[in-house]
Structures are given as C-alpha cells and as structure tokens.
Amino acid sequence: MSFSGLLLKRLLLSVVTLWLLSLIVFAGAQLLPGDVGRAILGPLADARAVANLNHQLGADRPLVVQYLDWIGHFVIGDMSMSYTFRSPVAPFIINAMLNSLKLAAVAFALVVPLGIGGGVWAALHVGRPLDRLISVIGLSATVLPEFVTGIVLIMIFGVWLDWLPITATAPADADPLTQIYYLLLPSLPLVFVLFGYIARMARAGTIEALDADYTRTAVLKGLPRRTVLWRHVLRNALLPTITVIATQMGYLIGGLVVVEVLFHYEGIGSLIYIAARGKDFPMLEAGILSIGIVYTFATLAADLLYSALNPRIRFGAVE
C-alpha cells in the first residue's frame, strides 16, 4: 500500500472513531442525573420555570432529534450554541484549546529533554548511585498527584519566595515570553508526573540498544563513542519512548482539570468538566471531540515519526 493510501485509511478510521466517541459521549451524558434547566436554575426553582427553560434550549426534544440536530451542524463546522452560556460554543472551545496547547507545549518542552536526558544518562550509568537516584526521583514524582505538587509549588514559589505568578493566565496583552513565564509554575506538576515515565522508557530502550549486536559492531569497528551513541544507540533506543510521549498528548491536552482549576487556567479540561456538570451537551460533545481529534493526530504523527526513524516499517518498504 502506498503512503497516501495508508494515510487515507488511517484518516477514515479516525473519523469512524470520532463518530463512535460522539455517540458514547451523548449516551453517557444521558446517564448523568438532572437536566440542563435544573442545572441552571438550581434545585429550588419552580418546576414551570425549569420546564420553560428546557423547552427554550431545546433540551426537552427526543434524544435522537437532539443528537441528529447537533451532529448535522457539527459536520458542517458549526458547533451549535452552548445551553449554559447561551452563546456559540466555538469561541469557548478555540480559546480553551489554544490555552491547553500552550500549557502542553511548555510542559512538553521541559519534560521531554529532561526525561530523555535523565533516562539516557541513567542507562549509561546503570547500577551506579546516579541511576538509582534518577529512577527513585522519577518514580516518586510520578505517584504524587498534581494537586499535591501543585499546592506545594505554589506555596514555595508563589507565596513564600514570590518568584513566579500563582495563576497561569497572563494579562490579556502579554507577549509570548511573559506567557511562558506565567506557564512555568503550572507546567512543573506535569513535568513531575511525566518525567519518571519518560525517563524509564528511555533508560530501558538505551540499555537494550547498548547491549545490541549492532552497537558492539559499531564499537568494534572503531567509531567514536559519541557517534555510536547518536547514530546507533539513541536512534533505536528512543523509538518506544516516542510512542509513549505521543500517547501522553491526550492527557496533556484534556486531562489537566486539576492543574487548570488550581492554577486558574481556562483550558479544555476544565471546560469539559464544567460542561458535564451543567449538562451542557453541545459544549461537552465539542470539547471531547476536539481532544479526540488532537489525540488522533498526535498518534498519527507519532506513527509517521516512528516510521521515519525506523526504516524496517517504513511505508511501502515491504512491497
């Protein structure tokens, strides 16, 4: 199969996956107790007022009608109106998605070099105290929940030392550097969560590659250590790590509710959380599908990168 044919197949599969996802979200949202009118007006509101509001919003229509109406608009690029905010969903999603991507990018830029560097360093010093230290630190940091590390970091750097801003949201007109400055503190809990994971993968991969026959051959034929490392060891060792990093994209984009709430950041995670609580179905669907899309593309990109690095599975190479 040609590269473009494979890409097309993967894209079609993604569309089917996303459609299934939208069905699951819709069905799941129906299982949540309560309705949108009640969520807006509160438990003590008059039943007539609640029924009126549900009718105004169209939330009292049959489920199939609601779903078809929504997906009919979604496929032509219209995300519909939010039930809760009574305004178009799209600006909320775009703004939140951009924010989430910024935070993910900063966290990514910090954790990937640190994780890979730490892992490779540990692999090159297997069994020595430094290796143990990196493994122990990585493992401990991974098991600490973000809200614990987040609060500790805020207390140290935000309140006591007063070095970094407590909220992740920079002033509206801030330049990119200022925005990164505001995102440093909120990125750290994510770095903690992911560092151990990435470092362990990198370490395991490197150790395996160092033991491989081709590495021995490369060393024996007299290549300098640096060349052996870069050209032969790392290129092979980091393949699984790339897959791992790609699968973390979903978490980095959509799974940061706790960090977003704690650092007061308008990301897609907290948007979805609030939409689910408010029974705001159009917002919920659009939010989850956007994460689904990012996740799908991240996985696809990882596969492409993987194949670029690994000639054995390079597309078309088999035929």
The footprint of another protein (CB under 8 A) covers: 32-34, 37-50, 52-53, 56, 84-87, 92, 151, 154-155, 158-159, 162, 165-167, 169, 261-264, 266, 270-271, 273-274, 277-278
Of 42 and 222, nearer to another protein (C-beta) is: 42
Nearest-approach distance from CB 58 to another protein, in angstroms: 13
Q: How far is the CB of 67 from another protein (least distance, A)?
A: 21
Question: From CA 200, how far away is CA 121, in angstroms rounded?
Answer: 11
Nearer to another protein, 9 or 86 (CB): 86
> CB neighbours of 179 closer than 8 A, spacing ≥ 6?
102, 170
With respect to another protein, which residue has the nearer C-beta, 183 or 209? 183
Nearer to another protein, 6 or 257 (CB): 257
The dihedral region occupied by 181, where left means phi > 0, alpha psi between -120 and 50, and beta the remainder, is: alpha
Q: Which of 189, 214, 161, 162 is nearest to 265 (CA)?
A: 189
Neighbours of 27 (CB within 10 A): 11
C-beta of 204: minimal distance to another protein in Å? Answer: 37
Nearer Cβ to another protein, position 70 or 263? Answer: 263
Name the residue nearer to another protein (CB basis): 98 or 155.
155
Q: How far is the CB of 29 from another protein (least distance, A)?
A: 12
Q: How far is the CB of 146 from another protein (least distance, A)?
A: 13
**Helices assigned H by DSSP within the chain:** 3-31, 36-41, 47-57, 63-74, 89-124, 129-143, 146-153, 176-211, 213-220, 225-227, 235-237, 239-247, 249-254, 257-262, 268-277, 281-309
Complex with another protein: residue 158 or 250, whichever CB lies closer: 158
Terminal Cα-to-Cα distance of the chain (whole angstroms): 8
Alpha carbon distance 146, 273 (integer Å):
17
Backbone angles phi, psi at 60, to 5 degrees: -100, 5
**Beta carbon of residue 37, minimum distance to another protein (angstroms, whole number):** 7
CB 256 within 8 A of CB 267: yes
Shortest approach of another protein to residue 64 CB, angstroms? 22
